């Protein structure tokens, strides 16, 4: 349930004009509690069900690495017409 509610907390706090200091303090405490509760549970479940460790690649897809292109291969769009540095239309 918390995974569904957590993203909307900021909107509710903003609409309700919650004090920023109180919001950040509450959010930090909530994050610390979340880590302190969920991490040990994950460890215990991992120890209880070692078969699941082999299946994590199915549940959590690997991150794609962004490979930086060399400068000479980067695509740069030309400036829009009418802006300084834009190529002039030869028909005008």
Q: Provide CB contacts within 8 A for 56, sequence distance 6+.
A: none
Q: What's the pLDDT at 12? A: 87
Mean pLDDT by 10 residues, the chain (92 residues): 73 89 90 89 86 74 68 63 59 58
Radius of gyration of the chain from its Cα atoms, rounded to whole angstroms: 25
- pTM for the model stands at 0.49
Q: What's the pLDDT at 36? A: 92
Q: What's the pLDDT at 53? A: 75
Tokens at 5, concatenated: 């509610």
């Amino acid at each position: 349930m918390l995974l569904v509610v957590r993203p909307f907390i900021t909107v509710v706090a903003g609409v309700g004009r919650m004090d920023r200091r109180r919001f950040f303090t509450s959010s930090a405490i909530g994050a610390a509690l979340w880590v302190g509760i969920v991490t040990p549970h994950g460890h215990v479940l991992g120890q209880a069900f070692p078969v699941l460790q082999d299946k994590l690649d199915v549940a959590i897809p690997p991150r794609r690495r962004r490979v930086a292109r060399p400068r000479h291969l980067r695509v740069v769009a030309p400036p829009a017409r009418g802006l300084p540095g834009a190529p002039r239309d030869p028909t005008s």
